Chains A and B, each alone.
Chain A
């Protein structure tokens, strides 16, 4: 009996468990909506923090603390909702959030947290903010190597950790410190101290794993070509080439073959303690700073001619010329003044003509890939200029890109190889002396000669001053013609502008936000940018030179040299203020999105590297949970889902969360379109199902084949294989959440009608596509134009289009949803059709005209005065 009772209880428990497992759909959905809302809030907050990097805002630490706390609150709340939806499947998320939170707290308290400090980094691997780990010389090059179209010889750097390990392995820390103390306390001991320390350092042994790592890294970059590979091995002391110059105080070695890489390492380390270096530190009172020597290894370039460029003559900083000196072979003769060199004065204005030149007799040269002292230059070349005007222009043009990026005049070592390719070997800011004039005075004087073209229009996305000829970009084809140093003017702040952003001296757009993708890229490349001026494309005339003052938000006619110089002397540069650097460090752990592919094996809580990743992960999993439930027909039916029965073979599953479908005979497993009572769903359906929608399909295909391709869901392309490609609509009387993995695309629409127009909204997302990125971007641009036409606020990130409309009357909302319905049909395969940028405008007009003609969509007609020139879609 007891047995039976036990079994019965067991059974009961099981039944209860079973019951517990079944979370009512309405509950699930509320949580899902929460996560969506939180996701939006988090994205807005992250974008807001990003926009503060532009320099136009003054923010304090409190802002940073508050923002991080708010973000963490959002994340925890989403984690709770996700675990509710998935029955605690992702408890690990909490751990990840706590770990990141701890790191950010430490950063906020002023402790730098490096998740990993390796002994060796390739130059291309170096991340923002690592200057103290690898020294400024290597750090500057690592920034430059990531700029498009600029060559930097491949290389790697042994970090401060490698340096410390060397000292530790040889028990040198204390010995060196006691010597340094002597030097600090007593004058005239530098030489003796230097000698003693250098002997100790040179006599040390490189720890075995460091030896191995250096040789491995070198082998990798010379791509197996051991015999012929030569390296430069340079000092990259912490502090050197940054705020302090230390120029020439430490040693660098050129033409180092593979088997001398290790001894060169020791020699560079020892040069940290050169007499001059110690003396300099003593005089500048720098002994409180840790002395550390990261070492930079780079492949040698077969240099035909090399030299030094000052982008601005430090002796004549008010002038508008660069000074370029060069000689045959390696730059050593120029840098170290071993031999005379040619000097060219080159205009800083395009096309960078040579204004003056002094050609010297060049007697000596260092030949690349050869050891030994300088060799005599063959007589025939001694008196020929080492650079053609074209080469000089190329060097100056490139130098000015670096100057704009570092926002300081630059001292650059360069080399042209035997194929005429330009290489940047070193770059450091030139310290200009001289008093900074009041900007007010400069402007007062400037205004006399220069008309104000725009003032206080739009908002500053990145602070600074830039000048150059206006280049108007209408389509991505124009970009290939973009001249370096021009002012980029565009109607939209579209992401495909990114290609030329690093070459622009300033950017001005009619439409755009400081939180948008393009603004982010502009900040990354530090290009002065004003967005949302509304009229720039009409006011600014192509090829006319303008000066963009994105400090005061004024655009002047002509080139105002003084304004440009003014920013060179700005102290402190906003980017080196502690709050700014802190924000930069925080954002590095918050903002980038690394988890992009839900199919990747690292798409797990552990794989998250930033808060953005965590949010993305939770959003994805919440959505997946919902769709999985919708895809199981039994679970789907159990939870009250119905299939839509319609003439159009579109497989759409509908879940009514209340008032979305008219009462009907119980037991039916489908509903028909006329039963839809959800106001927003009804509107979308009207657009989606209207015959005209298929007429405006830009390719002439017959209705049947079109529909069959339309219904074929290919979610695996976009959403991943584990997700069944189900078209799902969750509807209520005033609500719709529609997700359609149609064709190769993924479309999601969410809309709600609230009690007042302010609470009405539509959000639209469109992603995916199989063609190459240019076409996908074109499609994104077309969608953006169409949606902006209907007053949506649109953002594009690559090929993801997100659009939002708020503050709508119910009428407007319904009209807009009809438009969305039509767009869903229209955009299918658009990317395949958009062969050139002119197609964007053509299809734009076609769609508008079609919509107008069919008269279903009033808002377009109301909002746009459109010439009816081409109604035929198949012309």
Chain B
């Protein structure tokens, strides 16, 4: 069975640093980006199964990134990470097709659970 691929985009390196080994432990194939430019370049080459992206970033922000993913990879799922107190943008993200959003700071278990959910949806679609 093919392993699920995950792309993590957050301009705070700690997020990718901590999630990558954790998710690889679970058997996911993980790539980490800390700026949206290089993540978008990679997006041109490859549709990951699941994208996990921060909302607030320099350059193209999470909302813009979400739109690009939905355009290019309609079969992929997107999980948004938001700062606290940004419920409004969370709602907007859901409307634009994100499958889940998680508030910072978050527990590793929260990401694991959201990822499981997203993975299920991706597999159903395959």
Contacts and interface: CB of A to CB of B under 8 A. Distances in A.
Counting contact residues on chain A (CB < 8 A from B), the size range is 20 to 34
B97 interface: no
Interface in B87-124: 104-109, 111-112
A439 B24 CA distance: 9
The CB with the most chain A CB atoms within 10 A, among B14, B24, B25, B27, is that of B25
A159 B87 CA distance: 50
Contacts, number: 60
A58 B19 contact: yes
A260 B85 CA distance: 64
A844 interface: no
B12 interface: yes
A62 B83 CA distance: 9
A553 B83 contact: no
Contact of B15 (A58, A551, A571): A58
Given A438-B24, A438-B25, A439-B25, A58 B18 contact: yes
A60 B25 contact: no
A132 interface: no
A61 B14 CA distance: 9
Interface in A517-561: 551-553
Nearest to A441: B27
A572 B106 CA distance: 19
B17 A572 contact: yes
Interface string B9-44: 010101101110100111100000000000000000
Contacts of A552: 109, 112
A235 to B, nearest CB: 33
B14 A578 contact: yes
Nearest to A577: B14
A440 B21 contact: no
Contact of B105 (A63, A439, A440, A456): A63
A357 B51 CA distance: 55
A58 B54 CA distance: 13
A61 B109 contact: no
Contact of A60 (B21, B26, B105, B111): B105
A571 B19 CA distance: 12
A574 B18 contact: yes
A591 B105 CA distance: 19
A570 interface: yes
Contacts of A456: 109
A579 interface: yes
B21 A571 contact: yes
A578 B18 CA distance: 12
B27 A56 contact: no
Interface string A393-425: 000000000000000000000000000000000
Contact of A577 (B18, B26, B83): B18
Contacts of A574: 18
Contacts of A440: 25-27
B14 A57 contact: no
A52 B14 contact: no
A440 to B, nearest CB: 5
Interface string A48-65: 000010001111111100
B104 A56 contact: no
A58 B24 contact: no
Interface in A649-685: none
B101 to A, nearest CB: 15
Contacts of B105: 52, 57-60, 63
A552 B107 CA distance: 11
A440 B24 CA distance: 9
Nearest to A574: B18
A58 B108 contact: yes
B106 A58 contact: yes
A163 B19 CA distance: 41
B12 A62 contact: yes
B12 A61 contact: yes
Interface in B47-85: 83
B57 to A, nearest CB: 12
Given A52-B105, A56-B109, A62-B83, A438 B27 contact: yes
Interface string A453-495: 0001000100000000000000000000000000000000000
A441 B106 CA distance: 25
Nearest to A64: B105
Contacts of A578: 14
Contact of A553 (B19, B104, B109): B109
A460 B106 CA distance: 13
Interface in A29-73: 52, 56-63
Nearest to A438: B25
A78 B21 CA distance: 44
Contacts of B109: 56, 456, 460, 552-553
A242 B29 CA distance: 32
A60 B12 contact: yes
A50 to B, nearest CB: 13
B89 to A, nearest CB: 15
A61 B26 CA distance: 26
A367 B19 CA distance: 53
Interface string A87-112: 00000000000000000000000000
A52 B107 CA distance: 10
A440 B26 CA distance: 5
A864 B19 CA distance: 45
A578 B21 CA distance: 17
Interface string A573-609: 0100111000000000000000000000000000000
B64 to A, nearest CB: 19
Nearest to B19: A58
Contacts of A571: 21
Contacts of B10: 60
Nearest to A67: B105
Contacts of B107: 56-58, 460
Given A439-B25, A440-B27, A60 B18 contact: no
Contacts of A570: 21
Contacts of A439: 25-26
A579 B25 contact: no
A57 B21 CA distance: 15
Contacts of A441: 27
A62 B57 CA distance: 12
Contacts of A460: 107, 109
Contact of B14 (A56, A553, A579): A579
Nearest to A456: B109
A573 to B, nearest CB: 11
A63 B104 CA distance: 8
Contacts of B21: 570-571
A58 B25 contact: no
A58 B27 contact: no
Nearest to A571: B21
A875 B23 CA distance: 61
A437 to B, nearest CB: 9
A551 to B, nearest CB: 8
B12 to A, nearest CB: 4
Nearest to A553: B109
Contacts of B108: 56-58, 551
Nearest to B25: A439
Contacts of B106: 57-58
A572 B20 CA distance: 11
A774 B21 CA distance: 44
Contact of B17 (A59, A61, A62, A577): A577
A438 B3 CA distance: 14
29 contacts: A52-B105, A56-B107, A56-B108, A56-B109, A57-B106, A57-B108, A58-B15, A58-B106, A58-B107, A58-B108, A59-B14, A60-B12, A60-B14, A60-B105, A61-B12, A61-B14, A62-B12, A62-B104, A63-B105, A438-B24, A439-B25, A440-B25, A440-B26, A460-B107, A552-B109, A572-B17, A577-B17, A578-B14, A579-B14
Please list the 4 inter-chain residue pairs (A to B) with the smallest Cβ-Cβ separation, ordered nearest first. Answer: A59-B105, A60-B12, A439-B25, A440-B27
Given A57-B107, A456-B109, A577-B18, 8 more contacts: A52-B105, A57-B105, A58-B18, A58-B111, A60-B12, A440-B27, A441-B27, A578-B14
